[in-house]
A = this chain, B = another copy of it.
């Protein structure tokens, strides 16, 4: 019995009804021979799909099968990803990557681009929308870098909860809190920021052009919102290291190229082993080798 060489199969577990075309194309372009796309995946129905992935090929061949968890809802994706890894046992496991709504690859790309232009130690970084899925990950990636991170959110309570969590886990960076709706607090914080990263909800402007460029210390502004209007007024979605009033600016599409590279490299790397779990920090580490 002669079978063709083993194909690289990516099992796409998407929490949305229609599995993402974007993730599927990226997977194909990253070298997956086949993408098995599933929509409406939840922690319950994921178990059977994972069993199907780990019980077919022998342990030595399992590196040719991998799982990608995606969809627009990051919390649902996290729950599916947890269930996926819990369903493995012993050598019966495949590599898995979680990137719902592009949250992990986008945060990795933003922090990596910022690190090109800034030395984070003693740097004041203001993160807008910091308690959202991408913002949280940006803060998490900044935490070991020795920066002074200001967690800005519409909810002071959520911001404080995040800061406590980050401070318990990391000693390098220091954290403070800013309530976005409090104008005095916000303006004061902007004044002393060296970098601003905005990752608020799509289409919601965070601050005006005037406020953004009012800071004498500002060196870098990254807006991760791709849907107009901009989160940071004055930053265009296509900005890519664009100098605006002496500030290096990046928009969502400007960050998108690196985000895509990270996603492709990650998919490619999934097929090198059967025991990788790619979440926020692993994807960032992998990303640092790309620059």
Contact = CB atoms under 8 A, between A and B. Distances in A.
A29 B61 CA distance: 11
B56 A29 contact: yes
B36 A57 contact: no
B31 A49 contact: no
B18 A38 contact: yes
A156 interface: no
Q: How many copies does the complex hold?
A: 3
A45 interface: yes
Contact of A24 (B6, B30, B36): B36
Contact-residue size bin, chain A (C-beta under 8 Å from the other chain):
35 or more
A31 B4 contact: yes
A48 B22 CA distance: 9
A41 B21 CA distance: 13
Contacts of A29: 3, 6-7, 56-57
Interface stretch (A118-126, A198-206, A240-248, A259-267): A259-267
B52 A21 contact: yes
Nearest to A41: B18
B18 A65 contact: no
A20 B38 CA distance: 10
Given A26-B56, A34-B28, A11 B21 contact: yes
A31 B3 contact: yes
Interface in A44-59: 45, 48-53, 55-57
Contacts of A41: 18
A65 B264 CA distance: 17
Nearest to A65: B25
Contacts of A34: 28, 35
A9 interface: yes
